[in-house]
Amino acid sequence: MTQDELKLAVAQAAIAYVVEGEIVGVGTGSTANFFIDELAKMKDKIKAAVASSEATAERLRAHGMTVLDLNEVTRMPVYIDGADEINASGAMIKGGGAALTREKIVASVAEKFVCIADGSKLVDTLGRFPLPVEVIPMSYAVVGRQLSALGGEAKLRLKDGQPLVTDNGNYILDVHGLQITDPMALENAINNIVGVVTVGLFARQGADVCLLGTAEGVKTLK
Ligand code: 5RP
């Protein structure tokens, strides 16, 4: 199976977690895009969606789905999103698509986080994928030095030779070379750096369920 076929398989499996008549939180990225296309097939059975990025909101609307502002929402049974890496405990690295802040905020409202990922994303130790950190633009140099002091190498993410600007108007530092043996401790430590908006470590609130696409079929990790 190709990676895209594995992503489609987990996106289809995730539909079983969507609660009819309720609001669903929707992540960002290529796997989430497969999920959005599957969700569109049952759009009349859900109340609305909340998007974790402008790109996701646009794709949902293009399918004719209602996209709500999170401020209008008090109950969200499930949030469904991909990951760049996930470990057996459900801790994840996210933010490869630069949407980590809105992803973490929308996920925080959901009762259940369902991660959908192809099998290549499952790791023993998080950190081979560079850890994204969203920062206030004026702070990227000082935050970068503090992140590097934690043992990695922080690099400003560029797009077309310029700093990539997130949906929130901020920059992303990608921290290379980390071996994250205690994800929760590192999430707390990075959260404490002044200038950091969000770290793409999802350990304090990890995935409740992971649907992993493998050659043997979709495996469910809980
Ligand atoms: C975006 C994310 C994505 O979930 C993550 O990058 C995985 O993306 P893909 O499904 O394209 O591999 O965190 O900010």
pLDDT of 64 reads 97
Which residues face 196 on adjacent strands?
135
- The answer to whether the beta carbons of residues 17 and 42 sit under 8 Å apart is no
- Alpha-helical runs (H) found in the chain: 3-14, 30-39, 54-62, 100-109, 140-149, 183-191
Catalytic residue among 22, 38, 103, 216: 103
Q: Alpha-carbon distance 82 to 94, whole Å? A: 8
Q: Alpha-carbon distance 1 to 116, whole Å? A: 16
When pLDDT is averaged across residues 147-168 and rounded to a whole number, the result is 96
Confidence of residue 36 (pLDDT cuts 50, 70, 90): very high
- The answer to whether the beta carbons of residues 36 and 59 sit under 8 Å apart is yes
**pLDDT at 133 > cutoff 90:** yes
Mutate to test the pocket of ligand 1, among 3, 84, 120, 167 (most ligand atoms within 8 A of CB): 84
**pLDDT at 33 > cutoff 90:** yes
pLDDT of 54 reads 98
**pLDDT at 182 > cutoff 90:** yes
pLDDT tens track for 67-115 = 999 999 999 999 999 999 999 999 999 999 999 999 999 999 999 999 9
* 99 Cα: distance to centroid of ligand 1 (angstroms): 8
3-class state of residue 22 by DSSP: coil
Percent with pLDDT over 90 in the chain: 99
Of 200, 208, 216, the residue nearest 85 (C-alpha) = 200
- 29 CB less than 6 Å from ligand 1? yes
- Alpha-helical runs (H) found in 110-176: 140-149
pLDDT of 174 reads 98
* 139 Cα: distance to centroid of ligand 1 (angstroms): 25
**pLDDT at 1 > cutoff 90:** no
72 included as an active-site residue: no
3-class state of residue 3 by DSSP: helix
3-class state of residue 33 by DSSP: helix
Confidence of residue 45 (pLDDT cuts 50, 70, 90): very high
Contact residues for 27 (Cβ-Cβ < 8 A; gap 6+): 35, 52, 56, 79, 80, 81, 82, 99, 103, 106
